[in-house]
Amino acid sequence: MLHGSLALTIDINGKNKMKTTVKIIYLMFILFLPKLAIAAEPLVDVAWVKENLQTEGVIFLDVTSNMQVFKKAHIPGAIFTHYQKDQWRVAGKKRGKKVPGLLPSASHLQKLIRRLGIENTNHVVVVPAGRSAADMGIATRIYWTFKVVGHDKISILNGGMNAYRAAKLPLIDRMTVRAPTSFKIKSDYSYLATESDLLKSLAQGEKIIDSRTSAQYLGINKSGRVQRAGTLPSAVNIPGEYLTINKQGVFRSKKAIAKLYSYLKVPSNTAAITFCNTGHWASIGWFVHSEILGNKNTRMYDGSMAEYTTNENADLIQMLRLDI
């Protein structure tokens, strides 16, 4: 189609000058198309970062949450945000009980993103510490949040700062201060599952994925942030730490994850909701199911077990009781 269009233009004009101009435009299109396509990928690697350190519109968002380390050495031009202090997640209440880890208000997120100096047109690359699966959970939760506020130009650096340092790429100690922007949120709550959504999905037999440890799934242990041990009826267990290599900061390949799903007999092509205790590990589950495996009909329940178990009558299954 593209070749035909160019040929038609050349035939109509029939001029050498026009031919040369079209050839140049065509070559530029071919050269830059791959980079534009890659820019929207959920995961980028250090090679991509190296090529895009000076690319206009690309912002590296450091989420290592250690300002002192960031000040000493960070990716050139990177900006810093603190996962807790900047309140990418907030506490709420349900049935009179505290529920941590909830999605902040649209107003709060808009102010935060504006203060960081991010425009709607920017391609944001989230850079976690990359030492552990838990680090990657910070990145996936912030990635998911950007999706909820309607920003699709978002990626995660696979391996985070650990991979960047290992590649011996440039580091600077000069702080980059970006001017506040007029970023506008276009909320898309199709990525979010509420408690009501969860109950409907359970009734309809939708796939529910428990991203917690197997011990919490079985009911042997529980987090201090939830009221009762156990898991949701019909939930399947894919611990978030299974989804990175050796529980570290590099995601497993799509092929490896598909093999894991097959072994656990979990379909990857059906509607699903991921949950954990507070919406941290569940964000890894959501990211893998939606962004790596490509199932866009996937939601995350940010209230997770912390909210669900505030209901004393909530249906739970405790498969194994040890301390009775």
Which runs of consecutive H residues, i.e. helices, occur in the chain?
A: 2-13, 16-39, 46-51, 67-72, 106-116, 133-148, 160-166, 195-204, 214-218, 254-263, 281-287, 304-308
pLDDT of residue 32: 45
Give CATH 3.40.250.10 domain extents, the chain.
43-166, 189-308
Q: Does domain 189-308 have CATH number 3.40.50.20?
A: no
Looking at domain 43-166, its CATH superfamily turns out to be Rhodanese-like domain (3.40.250.10)
pLDDT digits (tens, 9 = 90+) for 39-63: 469 999 999 999 999 999 999 999 9
State the burial class of residue 130 (Cβ atoms within 10 Å of its Cβ: 0-12, 13-18, 19+): buried
Residue 272 has pLDDT above 90, yes or no: yes
Question: What is d(CA 241, CA 277) in angstroms, rounded to the nearest whole number?
Answer: 14
Question: What is d(CA 145, CA 153) in angstroms, rounded to the nearest whole number?
Answer: 12
| Residue 256, number of CB atoms within 10 A of its CB | 12
- What average pLDDT does range 286-291 have in this prediction? 98
Question: What is d(CA 149, CA 61) in angstroms, rounded to the nearest whole number?
Answer: 16
Q: How far apart are the first and last CA of the chain?
A: 70
Residue 7 has pLDDT above 90, yes or no: no
Backbone phi, then psi, for 299, in 5-degree steps? -125, 160
pLDDT digits (tens, 9 = 90+) for 70-99: 999 999 999 999 999 999 999 999 999 999
pTM of the predicted model as reported, rounded to 2 decimal places = 0.88
Spatial contact of 77 and 130, defined as CB atoms under 8 Å apart:
no
Closest Cα partner for 139 from 312, 254, 291? 291
Residue 215 has pLDDT above 80, yes or no: yes
* Percent above pLDDT 70 for the chain: 87
